[in-house]
Amino acid sequence: MMMKLLKILAILLAISILQSGLSLAESYPCAGILLKTSNVRKEASQKSDKLGEFKKGETITVIGEQTSGGTMWYQVEFGNRTGYVRSDLIQIIQQGNSNAVAVNNTATTIPANTSDQITFRGLTWYITKAEAEKVLFSDGGRMAGFTSGVNDVFRMSATDYANIWLKSDEVENGGYKGWYSGLSIAGYNPSDTYVCYLYPIQNGKVIHDEEQAQLYFGWYTFNSRDFVDHEGIYNDLKNKITTLYGKGKQEKDKYTYHTTVTWKDKSGNQIRLLIDDDETYVTLGYMAAHAEEKLDALEKALDKETAASEQAARTNNANNISGL
């Protein structure tokens, strides 16, 4: 009797999934990230004509899949055409569904935060600045002002104040760095909230458009201007995050004089909580999976642009010998 009841429930669940338009398989279109520089083929075959290539770290739109000769290929958008890339070269990062919103022609979803997926304020990673700020402002956030180097974006090391001052591990002119106030977190009103958005790369070219820049990193600061008991804040946040995501990895850096705890989900999204040894500030950072790879690819693309600009200047001044 019990087995029969379970079978009926399973059938009803399957019908419910079908009627709601959900799928247990990947749905398309969805976003993917290139795990390495890859050729785009005209057809789903290694012998097919090459249309071009995607660079490692690029975010692309996947619109379907096809198996050929025992190998699965993703059908992808490539400029105003479509092509095929082997599935093992692409990491699917966002699946499309009926609640998807278009982001650079990529369908992305904005799910509620769950205990097995790390997000920044429930936002889907790599949505545009314009889309993210709609949510941030609806949560009570507002622009606090403009930071110096507003188009310079950071890696996770920015959770340590010293790295911001020293400008280490920053990508110059790599996107947009927003500075916000009015956003609460876990019952606190942090001193500051910062969010970094990186410029996307399409067909090997950097799209220098702040509104299309993509969310990959957000962090909160709790400094001595606004708080006294930083150890209390650190322990409270650590306990709350542990309740949600389990035990994190704690590290003490004897060279930079701070202690961090890092949590990662299965996709590689991460949280880092930091306190300096003098207990004068606490920071809490959230970063998307694959952000480091995307920043590496962005730096290379920006260097390539700069080199091309320098070469153009040399060409224009080829006959200029003034002052020599």
- Whose tokens are 């790295």? That residue is 163
The whole-number pLDDT of residue 194 equals 93
Q: Which of the residue ranges 45-49, 102-106, 210-214, 268-272 would you say has the lowest mean pLDDT?
A: 102-106
- Residue 71 pLDDT class (50, 70, 90 cuts): confident
What proportion of the chain, given as a percentage, has pLDDT over 90? 51
- Whose tokens are 């035990």? That residue is 247
In tens, the pLDDT along 144-176 reads 876 667 899 988 877 776 555 555 678 899 999
Is the model's pLDDT at 256 over the cut of 70? no
The whole-number pLDDT of residue 162 equals 59
Q: In the 3-class helix/strand/coil scheme, how is the chain assigned residue by residue?
A: CHHHHHHHHHHHHHHHHHHCCCCCCCCCCEEEEECCCEEEECCCCCCCCEEEEECCCCEEEEEEEEEECCEEEEEEEECCEEEEEEHHHEEEEECCCCCCEEECCEEECCCCCECCECCECCECCCCEHHHHHHHHHHCCCEEEECCCCCCCEECHHHHCHHHHHHCCCEECCCEEEEEEECCCECCECCCEEEEEEECCEECCEECCCHHHCEEEEEEEEEECCCCCCHHHHHHHHHHHHHHHHCCCEEEEECCCCEEEEEEECCCCCEEEEEEECCCCEEEEEEECCCHHHHHHHHHHHHHHHHHHHHHHHHHHCCCCCCCC
Interval 79-105 mean pLDDT: 63
Is the model's pLDDT at 108 over the cut of 50? no
The whole-number pLDDT of residue 207 equals 94
Return the higher-pLDDT residue of 215 and 18.
215
The residues near 161 (Cβ < 8 Å, ≥ 6 apart) are: 221, 276, 281, 283
Is the model's pLDDT at 21 over the cut of 60? no
Alpha-carbon span 284 to 187, nearest angstrom: 14
List the chain domain ranges: 27-109, 131-304
- Residue 253 pLDDT class (50, 70, 90 cuts): confident
Please tell me the pTM assigned to this model.
0.64
The domain 131-304 is placed in CATH, from the list 2.40.128, 3.30.450, 3.40.1000, 3.30.930, at 3.40.1000
What proportion of the chain, given as a percentage, has pLDDT over 70? 80
Interval 63-79 mean pLDDT: 85
Q: Which of the residue ranges 16-25, 270-279, 309-318 would you say has the lowest mean pLDDT?
A: 16-25
Return the higher-pLDDT residue of 72 and 96.
72
Residues 272 and 261 sit within 8 Å (Cβ to Cβ): yes
The whole-number pLDDT of residue 161 equals 62
Interval 275-281 mean pLDDT: 82
The whole-number pLDDT of residue 27 equals 65
Is the model's pLDDT at 229 over the cut of 60? yes
Interval 238-259 mean pLDDT: 86
The whole-number pLDDT of residue 107 equals 28
- Residue 116 pLDDT class (50, 70, 90 cuts): low
| 27-109 topology per CATH | SH3 type barrels. (2.30.30)
**Average pLDDT of the chain?**
80
The whole-number pLDDT of residue 163 equals 57
Is the model's pLDDT at 212 over the cut of 80? yes
Return the higher-pLDDT residue of 57 and 176.
176
The whole-number pLDDT of residue 198 equals 96
Is the model's pLDDT at 121 over the cut of 90? yes
